[in-house]
Structure 1
Amino acid sequence: MRHVIALDVGGTGMKAALAGPGGELLHQARRATGRERGPEAVVAGILDFAAELRAYGADRFGEPAGAAGVAVPGIVDAERGVAVYAANLGWRDVPLRTLLGERLGSIPVALGHDVRTGGLAEGRIGAGQGADRFLFVPLGTGIAGAIGIDGRVEAGAHGFAGEIGHIVVRPGGTPCPCGQRGCLERFASASAVSQAWAEACGDPGADAADCAKAVESGDARALAVWRDAVDALADGLVTALTLLDPRVLIIGGGLAEAGETLFSPLRDAVRRRVTFQKLPEIVPAALGDTAGCLGAGLMAWDLLDTAAATATAATAPPASPAATAATPPEVTT
């Protein structure tokens, strides 16, 4: 059975799968990233994991994987297949596409940014399915975005498209590691809400999920923290939808697990802020933590589809001279 390898590399764990032609996950596996052992060990672990998946697929399905897709965090040069930088993994300029291709028997390999890869899956087979324009925004440790256009995700001229978390929503506000002050992710990410709630309730171990529960119980301190986060998020999202005009706005990540505790006030806050803009449908992500793997699989199948189309075009017989000759203009006297 034809299949591809899909890998989603995170800061603490790796999720992997063998994906069938319809994007279905035929086999899934997980293991620790092992970042505490250093970046070289992380890369070695990725290569070993991929090789094990290839061997499993060949044994289980009677043939090796035809391609591989890999999603990684940080700065990614997808065109060159290089993982440029990831602070949480400690690597710089890792030629992952080349390394994986060599380890996996020279099969084609696609490398993508983790959020854009997850957005690709949400757009094609998840919450954005059928929408010609979507914006996927996961609210996790930070905030990023994937800009979906006609079934693909826009990376931008330099690979930085979609960095909505660094829209300044509170000028002069909390410093951000990016060098700016008042960035969206300093106020509306799951980690920002966790920090704000821990300070408000006096419990250093409290997190965003605890804050959401306190909001549901009517705690005034939690309501204030939640309102500040929702207002900041709405400000950032309205800036994004003004620029991008998405048909669907997909919210994912840990904070979205609060369900309507988040979505009800967020929809109201966005609605109050729009003037001439068209209000998009605001929906929760549908694929959960499998989005990265599913997207990596889709990237791999895209490589095979492109290769097949190129091969077909190359072997097509040339058009006959009679068919391609231009019709001479009619001359009248």
Structure 2
Amino acid sequence: MKAALVGTDGTLLHQARRATGRKRGPEAVVESILAFAAELRAYGEEHFGESAVAAGVAVPGIIDAENGVLLYASNLGWSNVPLRALLGERLGVPVALGHDVRTGGLAEGRIGAGRGTDRFLFVPLGTGIAGAIGIAGSIEAGAHGYAGEIGHLVVRPDGPHCSCGQRGCLETLASASAVTRAWAAASGDPEADAADCAKAVEAGDPRAEKVWLDAVDALAAGLVTALTLLDPSMLIIGGGLAEAGETLFTPLRAAVEERVTFQKLPHIVPAALGDTAGCLGAGLLAWDLLATEVSA
């Protein structure tokens, strides 16, 4: 878990990390979050002279943000967990609940790589792939909380099976996990990962180049589908694969440019906030919640 104290303007005042722990049921994880939040509150009181006035929590899965419910999280095995109510009851402050990628996108859009951009798409390339659709300073969640799930665009209909039930989803081909699997097989080293593949590409290994360019080609296909639908002025790429820098961005920009026809080519830039984006975005959600309550 990553957590932070965030100022009204999105300034990162303090950050901390803690292992989630081995107990993975909702009650155990909520208790871990509460204990972590109590530490942050105490730190704020000691170092800044005041307590936190609201909390923002970002979690993976399908979120009903309006009602504060985690509807479904396959990697956690949770469904219909009323996280906002559980946390609000114990913390005694207003609580905002958000999707982890969308909160990261909110931060990148307001105070990161997309600052000042009216329309953007934030796509972190990690264990999976998701997206955050930025519109005029906010993130579009969709009618049911599913907006931005770009990782489940089918880009290779005869591709690998995906946990969602489809074949050839973008995240089965272009996520850090997908590159890790492909490079481990191509290199014959079961311990090799996506970062190793990027280093091998930089060293001129043709096997690595093939694995890397296959992933880049699939990613470009998914991104062009997304920009055809959304027409963003900027594509912000984050996550582990983006840490490869121009090893990723040079071929990716070329592959997207080659695929576009009538579409306007967006700026393709790396994310600016790294793995603090989720914490900062959760803090922004909390401030937005307070502003909404005051205006109401």
TM-score bin, normalised by smaller chain: over 0.9
CA distance in structure 2 between the partners assigned to 1:36 and 1:209 by the alignment: 30
Q: In 1, distance between residues paired with 2:80 and 2:24?
A: 18
Letter in 2 for 1:189: S
Instruction: Name the aligned partner's letter for residue 189 of structure 2.
Output: D
Instruction: Specify which of 234, 238, 241 is matched with residue 248 of structure 1.
Output: 234
How far apart in 1 are the matches of 2:152 and 2:189? 28
Which structure 2 residue ranges, 5 or more long, are not aligned? Answer: none
Tell me which moved more, 299-308 or 263-272: 299-308
Give the drift of 1:180. 0.3
Contact 2:180–2:194 (8 Å) recurs in 1: yes
- RMSD between aligned residues: 1.1
AA aligned opposite 2:60: P
**Contact 1:39–1:90, Cα closer than 8 Å, also in 2:** no
Amino acid corresponding to residue 12 of structure 2 in structure 1: L
Matches within 5 A, 1:157-168: 157-168=143-154
The structure 1 residue matched to 2:120, chosen from 128, 134, 139, is: 134
Are residues 1:101 and 2:88 paired?
Answer: yes
> Displacement of 1:77 after TM fit?
1.0
- 1:23 alignment counterpart: 10
Q: Does the alignment pair 1:67 with 2:54?
A: yes
Residue 36 of structure 1, CA deviation: 4.3
Q: Deviations over 1:74-122 (max 9, x none)?
A: 11111110112222223222211111111112x2110000000000000
For the structure 1 residues 191 and 159, does the alpha-carbon distance in structure 2 shift closer, same or farther, using more than 3 Å as the test? same
Q: Tell me, yes or no, if structure 1 residue 92 matches structure 2 residue 79.
A: yes
CA contact 1:35–1:42 (8 Å) conserved in 2: no
TM-score computed with the length of structure 2 as normaliser: 0.97
Displacement after TM superposition at 1:37 (Å): 4.7
**CA offsets 1:224-274 (integer angstroms, 9 cap, x no match):** 101100000000000000000000000000000100000000000000000
Q: Any conservation in 1 of the 2:24–2:76 contact (CA below 8 Å)?
A: no
The answer to whether structure 1 residue 200 and structure 2 residue 186 are counterparts is yes
Q: Secondary structure of 1:70's match?
A: strand
Q: How far off is 1:35 after superposition? A: 4.2
**Count of matched residue positions in the alignment of Structure 1 and Structure 2:** 296
**What's the CA shift for 1:56?**
2.7
- In 2, are the aligned partners of 1:96 and 1:111 still within 8 Å (CA)? yes
CA drift at 1:19: 1.0
Tell me the amino acid that sits aligned with residue 226 of structure 2.
Answer: A
- Pick the structure with greater CA Rg: 1
Is 2:173 the partner of 1:187?
yes
TM-score (normalizing by structure 1): 0.87
Moved more, 39-48 or 274-283: 39-48
Report what 2:97 is aligned to: 111
